[in-house]
Amino acid sequence: MLKVIDKIYEIYSDELYSQGLYDLNDTITNACNLIRLKGLKRYYKYIIIDEFQDISLERYELIKLIRESCSSKVFAVGDDFQSIYKFSGSSVDMILNFKKYFGYTKVIKLTNTYRNSIELIKVSNKF
Output the pTM of the full model: 0.74
Rounded CA-CA distance 22/30 in Å is: 9
| pLDDT at position 113 | 65
**pLDDT (tens digit, 9 = 90+) per residue, 72-108?**
999 988 887 776 777 677 877 888 888 898 888 888 7
Q: Share the mean pLDDT of the chain.
A: 86
| pLDDT at position 3 | 93
Rounded CA-CA distance 75/111 in Å is: 18
**pLDDT (tens digit, 9 = 90+) per residue, 15-33?**
999 999 999 889 999 999 9
